[in-house]
Amino acid sequence: MNEQNIYMPYLMRIETVRDEAPFVKTFRLKFINEEILNRFTFKTGQFGEYSAIGEGESTFCIASSPTLKGYIECTFRQTGKVTNALAMKGEDDVIGFRGPYGNFFPIHEWKNKNLLFIAGGIALPPLRSVIWNCLDLRNDYKDVTIIYGAKTVDELIYKHELKTWDERSDVKLVTTVDPGNETPEWKGKIGFVPTVLDEVAPSSENTVAIVCGPPIMIKYTFPVLEKLGFTSENIFTTLENRMKCGFGKCGRCNVGKVFVCKDGPVFTYKQLKELPQEY
Amino acid sequence: MNIENKLLKLSSLEGLVLKLNQDGKQVFAPVKKDNIVNFAPVSAFHEMTQDYIVTARSAKFVVFPRVETILEMQFSKDNITLKDKDLSSIPDAVLLGTRPCDAAGFKVLTSIFEGDYIDNIYVTRLKKTTIISISCNNYDAKCFCTSVNVHPGGTAGSDILLTRIDNDNFLAEIVTEKGKEIVNKFDTLFDIAPDVNKDSLVANVPVEFDLSAILGKIYPRFESDIWVEQSLRCIGCGTCAYVCPTCGCFDIQDVSDGHNGQRKRSWDSCGFDLFTLHSSGHNPRNTQSKRWRQRILHKFVYVPEQDNILGCVGCGRCSRACSVDMNLKEHLINLIGELTK
Amino acid sequence: MDSIRKRARELLEKNTVKVVIGYGVGSDNTVRAIFVRRPEGVEELIFDETCVQNLAVYLLKNEIKQIGKLCIIANISALRTILQLASEHQIHEEELLCLSVTPNGELLEFTGFKDIENYISSCNRDLPDKESEMIKKLEKMSVDERWQFWMNHLSRCIKCYACRSACPMCYCTRCQVEYNQPQWITVEATLMGNFEWQITRTMHLAGRCVNCGECARACPEDIPINLLNYKTVLTVKEKYNISAGTNANIDSVMSSFESDDKENFIR
Ligand SMILES: Cc1cc2nc3c(=O)[nH]c(=O)nc-3n(C[C@H](O)[C@H](O)[C@H](O)COP(=O)(O)OP(=O)(O)OC[C@H]3O[C@@H](n4cnc5c(N)ncnc54)[C@H](O)[C@@H]3O)c2cc1C
Ligand code: SF4
Ligand code: SF4
Ligand code: SF4
Ligand code: SF4
Ligand code: FES
């Protein structure tokens, strides 16, 4: 990090822009400064503060795997001032980045286990990072199952990668869209993520579940996982609270005693159960 | 360093303020304007008032200004340049007439702005500020420093602490190297300290509640109705945080005209709805009672647990400034009552 | 006082209302808002000339609305606020019960907005003397002097928005200052931004301000911002012959027009 000024972002050049879904884009970003480019490391699950310089900063996770060197990626949905300003940027434009901040998924502790990833809507980015990280260390893990759902077919992001995962024999991918939103060509499942999870009923034996999605999906997914026999310390998720600084100073992201930016964003369901409902 | 005692005559303060100004330091002291006392730059000692318990607003703005440019940016046709803050442009300052609670408040701010990410802007401002406090020989019904382990003659956070001995003389306790520098530089203004019993010279502020009855006991009451009960009359104006010496919460925003811009950090308050509002419209602290709970818990649970320091110094400013009479001391006593029920 | 307590007790005992919003003794000989929910609590109620806070600010507060039907002990400011809020369709007759006391100590219980209108029409609604004089002084100043006056004051504004929170008519769920696309008003407190904020606040309250003075009372910087609003009170009265909070069916001055309006851009 910049030793002088903790608020000073690194400048990054946008290498590619990919439209993922309506109002959702992925940037591939490269540090302009060579030294930082070579020095920068992060762990899967961490996030950063991305700035549309002159407009402000926004919090996104790093959506690429730490095993990829030379660039990072972020995927964001246009929801407000900064994200709209970022969406105006194109290839070769410069944006700011501070980070990485926060804790990470303890993937080394998952060695020799089955992995079950469950994501809903725009919440796939943090999971995409950890999925690729684990796939790049494929021999360390047993079965890998991904359940991913969105409201509509259009809103499924990373379509290209979904295809890659689908084609891999060492990954089981289940995609689903909300009832009524299936298109004639749709070959995946139809139903809400928790329902589909219940249907697929993956074994909880020697398995960790990693869940990311809108609060409502999370709320209904946890009970299904518990029904399937997952213990709360084997269920992981990430929290999103409004953030400004990213390092525990601006005072807004706490859930009770815990600062999401420093102690999170990755939490186990067990930890969440002990926290008050402030997220 | 060991505290060293000196004598400072009231008449020497005039010279001290003058010399500090001549030395290029900006001197802030309590100034009375329209019957309200607040810290303001002074060029002469007589501009300072002696008639105050504590100032209406805290002195935190000297080290944590209400708006601070944290970096600058320049845009040209195909380039963006970021310019770091020039820390050397931060002026030397002296705070004269802070109370021991004010001085203790800086310790809380420091615990927030230091830690594993060091905010060098704050740290530099504090480093360049010498804090010359004056012990209290008076207090009012809103003060409760002694109930939160702050003492009206305490030296914590001050570089020099002055305690009034009589009409013409102060006992000057030189607490830090920074304080010593001032004394060394202007040594003709300081004399040998007399032998006095300092405790007899400062106000005897009664302890009004037992802090240990709160610490560690309110967090389990997170879901209690008491937060709703206590905050019914709070209108969520955020003033309490703005006047508080220990509130360090801030917002970060960019301002730009397309050619030049600044990233600015400005005061914020957990009392506001917008503080935690997501762009989706979801708000984890969507009612005033949740925000009131945050205020109390932050000061009495979260800060103590994270930084091993209490988040409130008992200055009572929040209660004096609150237009609907949310009296913190009273609420804390009421909390203890509920906790022991 | 006794009559208020007696009636409040009856209302709570009979469960006619769930909460009585009134005045009680505050810290250090001051008066504060209290929320009485049990009959025995009525003993804490007081009402005299020191009860200046406009309690109507609590009528729209969620946690208070949730308690159930409420009774408010209203001073003139609160009564006028109730009429103005009714004009703006923010409260309904059946949601609340209104008690007050005349200067001669007579208990008033209003049966509806009409009743409040009648009473208000007989009350003094003039601006307080101190503020009237200040406005006259400001009117006599040159533009430069006036600018200087407001620069002096508004340079102190810390954008805490206490003035907004304290104002019973500032009830927007999303205030103009919270919009950032575009950013109408700069977030940080700078002189320009402070002016933008106060101009916006004044204009949004033109024709709606009931001159209760809560904004200035709440301001931690003691900025006499109520003068801005009071000036509009006079202007609106003079130009449109409308006084906010005198009738439960007033058209909003700033968002209604007539064919003979002076401004013709709308035609
Ligand atoms: C740890 C973390 C990871 C995230 N990862 C992603 C991601 O990978 N992709 C993605 O699209 N979104 C992500 N978000 C949400 C994203 O930060 C917000 O949608 C975004 O900041 C909205 O900014 P805005 O300026 O466009 O919106 P505005 O509504 O204009 O927001 C103004 C300010 O509010 C804050 N803010 C508003 N909503 C949120 C929110 N939900 N979370 C945090 N801050 C908010 C921002 O600080 C912003 O400066 C993440 C949030 C967190 C906390
Ligand atoms: S100053 Fe008073 S009314 Fe305003 S937020 Fe603080 S406690 Fe609430
Ligand atoms: S919370 Fe109130 S009493 Fe405590 S330090 Fe802050 S202003 Fe002073
Ligand atoms: S969380 Fe609230 S009480 Fe704590 S420092 Fe921030 S504004 Fe002050
Ligand atoms: S209350 Fe005073 S300081 Fe706060 S925003 Fe209003 S005018 Fe500014
Ligand atoms: S984002 Fe600032 S404290 Fe967590």
Give pLDDT tens digits for B215-254.
888 998 999 899 999 999 999 988 999 999 999 999 999 9
Question: How many CB pairs (< 8 A) connect A and B?
Answer: 115
How is residue B14 written in tokens?
């005039």
End-of-domain residue from the set B200, B228, B263: B200
Backbone angles phi, psi at A215, to 5 degrees: -50, -40
Asked if residue B64 is part of any domain, the answer here is yes
Pocket test for ligand 4, best of B64, B110, B243, B269 (most atoms within 8 A of CB): B269
**How far away, in angstroms, is C216 Cα from ligand 5 center?**
8
For residue C82, the Cα-to-chain-centroid distance in whole angstroms is: 9
Residue B64 has pLDDT above 60, yes or no: yes
Which of A42, A56, A59 lies closest to A105 in space, CA to CA? Answer: A42
Are residues B234 and B128 part of one domain?
no
pLDDT tens digits for A117-134? Answer: 999 988 899 999 999 999
| Residues sharing a CB contact under 8 Å with residue B187, sequence separation 6 or more, in sequence order | none
Which of C45, C51, C64, C61 lies closest to C6 in space, CA to CA? Answer: C45
pLDDT for B318: 96
- Contact residues on chain C for A84, CB-CB shorter than 8 A: 181
Q: How many domains does chain B have?
A: 2
d(CA C173, CA C190): 25
Tokens 């949740």 belong to B290
Q: Among partner residues B66, B238, B269, which is closest to C189 by beta-carbon distance?
A: B66
- Contact residues on chain A for C181, CB-CB shorter than 8 A: 80-81, 84
Check residues A99 and B99 and name the one with the higher pLDDT.
Answer: B99
Check residues C150 and C264 and name the one with the higher pLDDT.
Answer: C150
Helix, coil or strand: residue A116:
strand
List residues near ligand 6 (CB under 6 A). Answer: A 243-246, 248-253, 259, 261
Helix, coil or strand: residue B63:
coil
DSSP state for residue C159 in the 8-state scheme:
-
d(CA B48, CA C1): 46
Asked if residue B125 is part of any domain, the answer here is yes
Distance from CA of A83 to the nearest CA of C (A): 11
Mutate to test the interface with C, among A55, A57, A58, A81 (most CBs of C within 10 A): A81
Share the mean pLDDT of chain B.
92
Asked if residue B206 is part of any domain, the answer here is no
pLDDT for C94: 86
Are residues B218 and B190 part of one domain?
no
Are residues B62 and B19 part of one domain?
yes
- The second-level CATH assignment, the architecture, of A107-238 is 3-Layer(aba) Sandwich (3.40)
Just give the CATH number of C129-242.
1.10.1060
Provide the whole-model pTM.
Answer: 0.91
**How far away, in angstroms, is B317 Cα from ligand 3 center?**
6
Task: Parse chain C into domains and list their residue ranges.
Answer: 2-121, 129-242
pLDDT for A1: 41
pLDDT for A2: 44
| Percentage of residues of chain B with pLDDT beyond 70 | 100
| Residues sharing a CB contact under 8 Å with residue B329, sequence separation 6 or more, in sequence order | B142, B144, B147, B208, B209, B314, B316, B319
CB contact under 8 A, B250 and A5: no
Which residues pair with residue A58 across a beta bridge?
A: A50
Query: Atom 5, ligand 4: which residue's CA is nearest?
Result: B247
Backbone angles phi, psi at A72, to 5 degrees: -130, 165
Residue C213: which region, alpha, beta or left (left: phi > 0; alpha: psi -120 to 50)?
left
pLDDT for B31: 95
pLDDT tens digits for B280-318? Answer: 888 999 999 999 999 999 999 999 988 889 999 999 999
Task: Parse chain A into domains and list their residue ranges.
Answer: 10-101, 107-238
d(CA A99, CA A51): 11
Q: Which atom of ligand 3 is nearest to the CA of B240?
A: 7
Third-level CATH fold of A10-101: Elongation Factor Tu (Ef-tu); domain 3 (2.40.30)
- DSSP class per residue in A237-271: EE-----SSSSS-S---EETTEEHHHH-SEEEHHH
**H or E segment and range at residue C100:** strand C96-101
**Counting Cβ atoms within 10 Å, is residue B54 exposed (0-12), middle (13-18) or buried (19+)?**
buried
Helix, coil or strand: residue B75:
strand
| Residues sharing a CB contact under 8 Å with residue B195, sequence separation 6 or more, in sequence order | none
How is residue A268 written in tokens?
């186990």
d(CA B177, CA B2): 10
How is residue C208 written in tokens?
């709606």
The arrangement of strands across the sheet holding B129-134 comes to: B36-41, B26-33, B93-98, B129-134, B160-164, B169-174, B4-9, B190-192
Residue B333 has pLDDT above 90, yes or no: yes
pLDDT for A3: 57
Query: Atom 2, ligand 3: which residue's CA is nearest?
Result: B318
pLDDT for B29: 96
pLDDT tens digits for A216-232? Answer: 888 899 999 999 999 99
**What is the span of the domain harbouring residue B116?**
4-200
Grade residue C265 by pLDDT with cuts at 50, 70 and 90.
Answer: low
**How far away, in angstroms, is B295 Cα from ligand 4 center?**
5
User: Which residues in chain A show pLDDT less than 70?
Assistant: 1-3
pLDDT for B119: 95
Share the mean pLDDT of chain C.
88
pLDDT tens digits for B15-63? Answer: 999 999 999 999 999 999 888 899 999 999 999 999 999 999 999 999 9
Question: With a 6 A CB cut-off, is A122 part of the ligand 1 pocket?
Answer: yes
Which of A165, A189, A115 lies closest to A145 in space, CA to CA? Answer: A115
Four-point Cα dihedral B278, B283, B286, B291, nearest 10: -70
pLDDT tens digits for C61-113? Answer: 988 998 999 999 999 999 999 999 999 999 988 888 999 988 888 898 998 89
Average pLDDT over residues B168-188: 92
Are residues B281 and B157 part of one domain?
no
CB B159 within 8 A of CB B130: yes
**How far away, in angstroms, is B237 Cα from ligand 2 center?**
5
Mutate to test the interface with B, among C160, C169, C173, C215 (most CBs of B within 10 A): C160
Grade residue C158 by pLDDT with cuts at 50, 70 and 90.
Answer: confident
- Contact residues on chain A for C186, CB-CB shorter than 8 A: none
Average pLDDT over residues C39-48: 91
Are residues B191 and B130 part of one domain?
yes
Which of A64, A61, A73 lies closest to A26 in space, CA to CA? Answer: A73
**How far away, in angstroms, is B314 Cα from ligand 3 center?**
5
Backbone angles phi, psi at C73, to 5 degrees: -95, 110
